[in-house]
Amino acid sequence: MFLVRFLIVPQPIYEHESDAASLTDPRQSPKKRRRLFADVTPLRESPEFRRLWASQACSAIGTQMTAVALAVQLYQLTHSSFAVGALGLALAVPLLVVGLFGGTVADSMDRRKIVLVTSSGLVVVAVVLAAQAVLDLRQVWLLYVLAALQSTLFAIELPASSSFLARLLPPERIAAATALGQVSFQASLTAGPLLAGLVIATAGLEAAYAVDAVTFFAVLYAVLRLRAMRPEGAGVSPGLRAITEGLRFVRHNPLLAAVFLVDLNAMVLGMPRALFPALADTHFDGGAAVTGVLYAAPAVGGLLGAIFSGPLGHVHRQGRAMLFSVTVWGAATACFALTADLVLAVAILVVAGAADVVTAVFRATILQVNTPDELRGRLNGLDFVVGEGGPRLGDVRAGSLAAITSPVVSALGGGLACVAGAALIALFLPAVARYDDRKRPPLVAGGGTGAPQPQQAASG
């Protein structure tokens, strides 16, 4: 089987041996050493990007605080991992229903206005969450409704805001800006849960929700400073037909279909975060503070993986790297379930977070360079649905299985199923395992590639 052979037999991942040697040679130049770290040139060159990047990093911390606060509040009200897992369903349904339309909406009107409207709506949702905590309403249904509304607004906003980069930066800076986005995102996953645990323990749930509301004003300020972001050309008409064209392209493109399936396998089967409140309470004998640590641990690994992501630029067998990193993710989840030592559990989750970043980097890279420009917005919308909806469905799976077995069994079974799923994808969808970016068909006029079958499929 490919996956077993890949795990046992060393694979060349660098184009030249000197590339690998330069990473460990103490005589290497400062320029080569800097390849280990994210490139901050876009922050220096573009004040607009710098403001947007900083504001989104700030807002992301608040969003993560709300995510932890919702999970903690639901568990306090119900003492049920199923109820916490069901929060994933409340978040996933709007993503699946609205997310695919978000890309077509972003291609039809001023994206700046879209973000201003949705960010204002997110401020209102955060204020209502804080108010219900202050009033101690103790209404589980209200938490689910507000979480679903928040998810709907994000599903409309993110496809629009992600399109800003191409307007603010030249093409040669896009990759560096994307890497910086991963750094800020992973930093928010680290700081947000830690701050949430501290704030909830000292000032209450309402304070965590209030901080989230305040952070959205940073985004509003940065976006107000931007120029209009109307789509170039005629754009597309939002609707089912535009979405169907994108889905048809993926269905007839084995590589992209496999890439999306690899990520869904990791998130739906291997995501353990819905179990963190219960495990913190019953397995590690802790409370909200320990819950925050568990939520933050994968983000610490993700942050380290993003900061030291320079070597990933030399990997050419990117599909194999995805399969390997997903296998590490699943194995780490299973090992996490088997330990009762908090320090070891946190270290394992750090490894899992680093593996997840590797998967995310290569998924985005493969998607962007193998998608015709006229379909890129819609496939980015699909990528958003998969990237955001998959973990929420994973929360539902983890919480449901924990309710009929135990949190430990749920985490262990999910991790092992993820490893098995990666092996099956490698066996039955070999396009992802064989992919080599040095042999990729070149892009041609019109935004397509030199491969005729995907273009024919896209045209129907």
Does the pLDDT value for residue 232 go beyond 70? no
pLDDT band at residue 350 using 50, 70 and 90 as cut-offs: very high
pLDDT for position 251: 86
Give me the residues paired with residue 449 across strands.
443
DSSP sequence for 21-56: HHTT-TT--HHHHGGGS---HHHHH-HHHHHHHHHH
How confident is residue 175, by pLDDT bands cut at 50, 70 and 90?
A: low
Higher confidence at residue 241 or residue 435? 435
Q: Does residue 191 have a pLDDT over 90?
A: no
Nearest-angstrom CA–CA distance, 308 and 302: 10
CB atoms near residue 17 (< 10 Å): 9
pLDDT in tens, 386-431: 887 788 889 889 999 999 999 999 999 999 999 999 999 999 989 8
CA distance 265 to 46: 38
pLDDT digits (tens, 9 = 90+) for 139-173: 999 999 999 999 999 988 887 787 777 678 775 66
pLDDT tens-digit series, residues 283-316:
887 777 788 888 888 888 988 888 887 677 677 7
pTM: 0.67
Of 315, 368, 441, 357, the residue nearest 175 (C-alpha): 368
pLDDT band at 203 (very low <50, low <70, confident <90, very high): very high
What per-residue confidence (pLDDT) applies to 278?
A: 86
Q: Domains of the chain, with CATH numbers?
A: 2-13+38-459 (1.20.1250.20)
Asked if 432 and 323 count as a contact pair (C-beta separation under 8 A), the reply is yes
Q: Is the pLDDT of residue 320 over 70?
A: yes
Instruction: Report the candidate in 390, 363, 352 with the shortest Cα–Cα distance to residue 265.
Output: 390
pLDDT at 171: 57
What's the mean pLDDT when you consider all of the chain? Answer: 80
Closest CA to 235 of 160, 300, 132: 160
| Cα–Cα distance, 161 to 298 (Å, whole number) | 25
Q: What pLDDT, on the 0 to 100 scale, is given for residue 235?
A: 58
Bigger pLDDT: 436 or 162? 436
For the segment 366-381, the average pLDDT, to the nearest whole number, is: 72
Higher pLDDT, 442 or 46: 46
Give first-to-last CA distance, the chain, whole Å: 35
Local confidence band at 7 (pLDDT 50, 70, 90 cut-offs): very low
Mean pLDDT of 56-72: 94
- Candidates 162, 82, 124; CA nearest to 364 is 162
Angle at 297 between CA 293 and CA 302, to 5 degrees: 150
